Structure formats: C-alpha cells, structure tokens
Structure 1
C-alpha cells in the first residue's frame, strides 16, 4: 500500500519525464513503446505467453510458429523490463534516429530482433542435442527486447566509441566497454538467480546479430556497405589483453568465409577528383571513421561556439591593442617607421602632447619630437652657422 502511494505521488513527475523522453521522436518509436507497454498486461496469461514467445520446439517443423519470431520482442513479463525497454527505445530515437533516419532505424530494429529469435532458438536446440533435455525445447520461452538493448549498445559503440561515461578506480568506462560489461553483469545476475537464463542468451545473440549487420551489410548514403574501421573489429569488444588471440581466431573465421563465398572482401575506393573523374578501387579495408569523426568534430565545434556565446553575453572586456616597449602602437611596430617633426628657429613649434614631453630631445637651434606628423608639407631646414 505504501509503494502504491509512493507511485501515485511521483506519477506526475514520471509522466513528465516519459513525455520528455519520447518528445520529438518519430511515430515508429512511439508505436514500439506503446506496444511494449500494452502487451505487458498479456503476460499474465500463460496462453498468450506461449503463443507470442519463441519456443524452440515450436519454431521448427512440423509446428513451425513463424510469427513468434516477429512478436516475441514486444512481450515482457516484468514491469522493470518494460521500463528499461521504453528508455532504450526512446534513447535510440534521440541518438541514432537523427543520424540514420527513421527507415534505417526500423530496419535495424527488425533485423536485430529476428536474428535474436532465430539464434536463441538454435542455441537451445544445440543444448538439447548435447543433453537430450526436452524442457529446453518446450518449456523455454524467449521474449523481450534484451537482444535489441544489446544491439543499441553496439550501435552506440560504433558511433561514439570513446565517449566517457564514468571514471572508476580501475579505469575509465566508455561506450566501447558497455556491451561486454552489460553481458558480464547479466551472467552474474543469472548465476545469482535474479535473471532468467534467456536474458544473457538473447543479449549475446543481439551482440552478434547487430555487429554482423553493422560491420558488413548496413548501407550508407555514399554507396558503401558496412563499417570496416579498425575500432569496430570483433576483438575491440574485449579488453586489450585478450584482443590479440581473439583477433587471430576472428580473422581466421572471416578469411574462411571469404574463401567459401559467404562473405566478400571489402574494396577501398579513392576518388582522384578534378579535373579527372577517376576512381581507384583497391582490395582491402574501407574505414568508415570519416562520418564518426565528422560528428565528433561538429559536437566539439558546437560546444565551443556555445561557450563563446555565453562569454559574449556575460560582457567580457575586450583586450587592448598590444604596445611596443617604446610606447608605439602595433601598427608602428609592424611598419618599423616613425615620423619626426623638426622645429624651425624663429617659428614657434607645435606643442607636443603631454605623453610625449618626456621624449623630446633638446638640441641647440633644433628641437626634435617623436610625434606623428599628419601633414605632407615639405619643411625647409635652416642653415646652422659653423
């Protein structure tokens, strides 16, 4: 009863934060969030859970419930998982959708979840072949957006890999550490008993599916496919100590798939440019770091411009023009010239400014002052008797 009163008390604040999260997002993002929230109430029915979830034994012939590969991702049986799913989809609409577009984001959503459903079912089928435990085929129900959460973490790692999230005593936590960190945490919670066994399975399947799609198959506006940057290799998901052996294994598997014909070797293209329209294509790696670096540079530029604008609004004093050690202006220092006024005997010289009286040189019959002359009239010098 106390928890219900606490929830009702904080309901307006939660509603405000929820609307702020989903504000300025596409209709597809709002649709996914609404479906996930509504299907949560179907989780209280065992029949609905069995019909909407992927059951490994029912996904294969002769039953062949194919529709479950499309519906399982919208069903959650815990309310905290519903909240996590809505926050993840909302952040995806804020961060990824402006860069990719609504259509590409929905394509990524569909590919990641369908791949998670199929890979997870194949994994439990493999476990059944090893243990001959029929419960793995008919009592395991795969549902939820755990795989898509893993896919979003991979996409964020691709876009902003070095973005600092947290400083810890053992090191810095960046976006490149998130996928493996969340997977490790889910395994620990599963061992403790706070998570179902399907959660780490779906999360691992989401990592593999999303990385494969983003690495080799995603289409870009410049006509290229995938992201073959060195910072997005499979070994980059692991700590630096484990990267060399994992890179050897992953490169061997990739080379075998290229020889078989399942994967193709990427081609690096160079545009020579004007005056000739020649494009040179070389086999190798085509880095996709240019767009990532452009986004980082634009973010840095925006921060600097906003900082300069705040300083201008606060009315910072303008810096004075630098002066030379002799009291001249920067223009005089630049030209290296200084005009001299010579007073003629018999005529009263122009009084020098007070700031220059200390620099007047007294000579018998001649008065020299380092003041600037604005007149171009020639001056006749008197004859000084010997």
Structure 2
C-alpha cells in the first residue's frame, strides 16, 4: 500500500482551487477558440476594463494558470512551499498570508494599468489579463528568506552557490524575460514586483509572531520581524546594499513621520532574531543534537585521558622494584563526580553511540566557534 501524502488543509484547498479553475479556464478557451480574436474570461480572470462587475476576480484570478507549463510550476510551488509554511506558521497565519499576497498585488497591478491607460489612452493596458500565481511564488521565496536567511543552495554540482535571500530578485529577472514570450502577460512583471514588496512589508511589520514561552521579557503581542537579517537591503548584492539601505531607511523614516509605520524598539530586533531561530521547524531538535554531541565528545575526551593516564601510572608502578603493589590512581573521576558522569551519560548517550576513540576534541573551541 503506497504511503499517504499528508497535505495541510489550507494547502490542500488552494491546490484544489488552482486545478479546478485552471481546467475550467482551459475548457472555455478551447470551446471559444478563434484564430481572429483573443479569448478573455472576465468573470474568472481580472481584466481592468471588463471585470469591475465581477469583484471576486481580484482574488480568484490568482489561482488561474493559462498553460500547462505555468500550471506545473504553480502546483509544485504551492505543494512544497505551502506544506512547509503552513506547518511553520499554522493554518490560520498561512491563510492570512495567502490572502494578503494574493489580493494586494492584483489591486496594485490593476491601478498601475489604469494609470498607464490614462497617460497613453491605449486600450491594450486595460485589456491586459492579470492572472497567475506569480505573487504567491515570489512571496514564498521572501518567506523562506525570513525563515532560513543563512541557508545556501548549491546548483549545478557546486558551480553556483546562492543564499536564499538572493532568489526573489532572480525570480523577478526570470519573470521579466518570460513576459516577453507568450507564456506570460505584460502584467506578470508588475505582479512579481508588487508580490515581493507586499510579502516583505507584511512579514516585516504586520505578521503576528507566536509568543516565546521561554522568554520573560518578550511582550505578549509581537508583530513583524525586526531582525537585521530580514532588512530590505539584504535581498540585494553587496555592492548596492549601502545605496538600498540608505533609500529604504529614508522611506521608513518618512512613513514613521506620518504614523503609517511604528519604529522598532532597541531590544525588539534581538528578540525577533532569537524567536526566528526557535521558530524554524527542526531548529530545537538540531540544538538538542548539538548539545548532546558536545556532551558526548567532552565525556569521551575525559574518559580517554583518564584511561591513558591510569595505564601509564600502572606501567610505571609495575616496572619499579620498590613498589610491590600499584598505587591507586587519583586522576580519574572522584566519588563526588562519578554520579554526575553516570547521569550525564544516561541522559546524553543513545544506543549504538561510541564513546571512545576520539581524543582530539576541544569543547571550548567548538563552543566558541559555534557561538561566533
């Protein structure tokens, strides 16, 4: 019997909606296909000139793909990214994130197309179809940049290595190239840009963070992410980081002045950074494994040193003619320390773990290296 694939509820619903609406759109296009005209579906896709009487299209158009290539990429992204984020945040928070990153980019793109039409009086702007999961795909990349900012992805067997925060800008560049082909519409680039800005703004300032029960200083209500690793300039290459940082700081100060944004406190950045490491799935287990490995190696080093020293003392005593019996070794663990060693071994050791055989480990050096 094949194993059952466990898909969280919100991710499952989104995948079903994506499949049903994309199939419905393909069926309508197939029945109404004509070589002389372009088919539009104003009650399913968002089209500025035609969809004002169908307000639900501002949301439903996100889950409609027009070809099998983009549908495959969308399904793969929602399946893998949705499962990860929903389990990391909870279904409620993940649903709110999907709602924000689906609705706002469509509204902003709609407004820009209307603005371009006002300037040029060219109806092609208002007849451009706004559809697809592009805002969600780049929003997932931004979310991964928040959760695992130091993670490096190696491509082409080590030829290219990129940190996760570099992927949103690469994705925007890829969308810009594909928008010149029939695969994507001219509105796709606007969707990618607004999806990037919307998701970062929401995660940076508005998303609710779960309270840290281990911290007595963290407020009960915490929003956003004030950590330096999630600053806006961290998404850009090193040479342009100072320029982007100065521009983003000026914009933030202006928003604070008009009371749209609230400045972060001095300790909030540290609290967000500490919570960020605790919030990543598997981080607590990794920390426990690290501490267990440190304890095992420290115990192994002490036992090997004590055994080697006792053996050398025994050999010296047996070779000395003045000594009839070897003196008891006092370099090993004392009576007071033996219960602690036994308890530590019982708590940290696992079946099949080898305690002896490694004598060149320096726990203080490893701890300092880990903390740096």
Q: Does the TM-score normalized on the shorter chain lie above 0.5? A: yes
Q: Secondary structure at the match of 2:250?
A: helix
Structure 2 residue runs without a partner (length 5+): 30-38, 212-220, 295-302, 329-372
Residue number in structure 2 paired with 1:70: 59
Say how many residue pairs are matched. 299
Work out the CA distance in 2 between the residues paired with 1:358 and 1:68: 93
Contact 2:42 2:50 in 1 (8 A): no
Aligned residues: CA RMSD: 3.2
The one of 99, 102, 119 aligned to 2:88 = 99
**Offset of residue 48 of structure 1:** 7.3
Q: CA deviation at 1:151?
A: 0.7
Which residue of the partner structure matches residue 240 of structure 1? 238
Query: Counterparts in 2 of 1:251-266, with a 5 A limit?
Result: 251-266=249-264
Report 1:254-293 matches (<5 A). 254-268=252-266, 288-293=272-277
1:50-199 mapped onto 2 (5 Å cutoff): 50-58=42-50, 63-137=52-126, 139-166=127-154, 172-191=161-180, 194-199=183-188
1:48 to 1:94, Cα distance in 2 relative to 1, 3 A: same
Q: Which residue number in structure 2 is paired with residue 359 of structure 1? A: 320
1:226 to 224, 227, 249: 224
In the alignment, the residues of structure 2 paired with residue 248 and residue 319 of structure 1 have an alpha-carbon distance, to the nearest angstrom, of 56
For 2:55 and 2:233, the matched residues in 1 are separated by: 34
Change (3 A) 1:41 1:25: closer
Deviations 1:99-132 (A, max 9, x none): 2100100110011100111011112122223322
List gaps (5 residues or longer) in structure 1.
1-15, 270-283, 309-317, 330-353, 362-367, 374-386
Distance 1:357 1:115, change over 3 A: closer
Larger strand percent:
1
Match of 2:341 in 1: none
| 1:185-231 deviations in Å (ceiling 9; x for gaps) | 11122235553222222111111111111111111122111112112
- The answer as to 2:15 corresponding to 1:33 is yes
2:154 alignment partner, SS class: strand
The whole-number CA distance in structure 1 between the counterparts of 2:82 and 2:163 is 21
Deviation by residue 1:163-200 (Cα, 9 ceiling, x = unmatched): 11115788621211110111111112223555322222
SS for the counterpart of 2:308 is coil
SS at 1:173's partner residue? strand
